[in-house]
Structure 1
Amino acid sequence: MDIGFIHAFLASLSVIIVSELGDKTFFIAAIMSMRYSRTTVFMGAILALALMTVLSAFLGYATTIIPRWLTYYVSCALFAVFGIKMLKEAYTMDANEAQEEYEEVQSELRKKEEEVDKQAMVDLEAGISRTPQRRLLFSFVSRVFLQSFTLTFLAEWGDRSQIATIILAARDEVSGVILGGILGHALCTSLAVIGGRCIAQHISIKSVHFIGGVVFLIFALSALFIDPDDH
């Protein structure tokens, strides 16, 4: 198999896992899966993450108009910066960071549900029914699925994993980046919806950041051993 594809796949898979474990999207899936159907929550979240991965990969691929050697070494430098930043965050991070992030996401989701319930009550009291378009939409797609998709997509936008995917696609084979990224997201989201509260509250964000920093640095240093033309 092509070494470029393998490198892109492994890099994307590793980077996504260390970026997404204990991330906001992870907690969204974990909390929603405790209230609603795990399958529905998973499908909404993974569709959003897969779409974001493809969009990010093609954004990175668009930079191929720039000389190959330049994008390759610039991306490696950015990976090194990410790695150092994550190691610094791991060193200064509070041990209860995961619990705080979990409670913050839980609070946000509760507020959104209260807003939806309040709006539904106002509409009911005013005798306002859903528009035909909304009724048609909800006849095909459940509200939970849409909520999982929307919240995950918005939380992922501008996230570390999205930026990392763009950087990887700028230097590595796009197909490998996309497949590795989607698999990484699927594994993390599966853990979130299956483990739910247990994993969300006992995961060590400090350890994940430390491992993540090392992973980012490893792939940054790979530039010293792999020729850009091999990708």
Structure 2
Amino acid sequence: MDALFSSFTAVAIAEIGDKTQLLSLFLAARFRNKTAIISGILVATLLNHAASAWLGVWISQFIPTTWGPWLLGGSFIAVGLWLLIPDKDDSEDNAVLKYGAFVASCVLFFLAEIGDKTQVATVILAATFDNAIWMVIWGTTLGMLAANVPVVFAGSWLLQKISLDWARRTACIVFMVLGIFTILM
């Protein structure tokens, strides 16, 4: 259960102000079928995070178990600092958009997640919780959905009400505290 909760929390917080949230906003503005967008996000995240988690489990065989709390805590701190660097929406009118909301969401989300902080977090979480890989995959996927589904449905309204700079700073502080807590416990 720790793997599920840690994975969910890490990704849900790391997604605040992330480029995939901007991509969600773009897709919601472009397509009316919100269910197809969310389904595309789900499939892309499951595929990307499953591959990342399995990579993390493979890497974990080379890392001494005593390093686990340090790696996880350090990664939380690193992701917290990374959150202070705003992402840009680098989605452009793309040829994949002509295939509809589901395909566009699935392909663009999968590509946007490559090398993203949530993918890196998934690798590290899976390396830390290598005996609970499915909990990590489900936790990170649910965290991704928790952060992006509201944007799909209410993104424009949310952007008017919440400052992304404030949200990033708050998320950074939460990650720093989680990192320190993980290292000390």
**Could you list the runs of 5+ residues in structure 2 that have no partner in the other structure?**
none
- Contact kept, 8 Å, 1:31 with 1:197, in 2: the verdict is no
Deviation at 1:80, TM superposition (A): 2.4
* Whole-angstrom distance in 2 between the partners of 1:202 and 1:155: 26
**Could you list the runs of 5+ residues in structure 1 that have no partner in the other structure?**
118-141, 226-231
| 1:133-148 matches, cutoff 5 A | 143-148=100-105
Q: Which has the higher contact order (CA 8 A, sep 6+)?
A: 1
- Contact kept, 8 Å, 1:22 with 1:203, in 2: the verdict is no
User: Is residue 83 of structure 1 aligned with residue 80 of structure 2?
Assistant: yes
The counterpart of 2:133, out of the listed 171, 174, 177, is 174
Percent identity between the aligned chains? 27
| SS of 1:34 mapped into structure 2 | helix
The counterpart of 2:110, out of the listed 153, 158, 164, is 153
Please give the TM-score of this superposition, normalised by the length of structure 1: 0.68
Deviation at 1:39, TM superposition (A): 0.9
CA 1:75–1:152 in 2, change beyond 3 Å: closer, same or farther? Answer: same
In the other structure, the counterpart of 2:20 is 25
- Contact kept, 8 Å, 2:72 with 2:124, in 1: the verdict is yes
* Whole-angstrom distance in 2 between the partners of 1:219 and 1:201: 29
In the other structure, the counterpart of 2:57 is 61
* Whole-angstrom distance in 2 between the partners of 1:59 and 1:201: 39
* Whole-angstrom distance in 2 between the partners of 1:151 and 1:177: 22
Which entry has the higher C-alpha Rg, 1 or 2?
1
* Whole-angstrom distance in 2 between the partners of 1:74 and 1:169: 11
RMSD between aligned residues: 2.5
In the other structure, the counterpart of 1:15 is 10
| 1:1-231 matches, cutoff 5 A | 5-6=1-2, 8-36=3-31, 37-66=33-62, 67-86=64-83, 89=84, 101=88, 104-105=89-90, 108-109=91-92, 111-112=93-94, 143-172=100-129, 173-221=132-180, 222-225=182-185
Deviation at 1:153, TM superposition (A): 0.8
Deviation at 1:167, TM superposition (A): 1.0
1:212-231 CA distance string (max 9 Å, x none): 22232233222321xxxxxx
* Whole-angstrom distance in 2 between the partners of 1:156 and 1:164: 11
* Whole-angstrom distance in 2 between the partners of 1:85 and 1:158: 13
Q: Which amino acid aligns with 1:112?
A: N
Deviation at 1:69, TM superposition (A): 1.3
CA 1:19–1:50 in 2, change beyond 3 Å: closer, same or farther? Answer: same
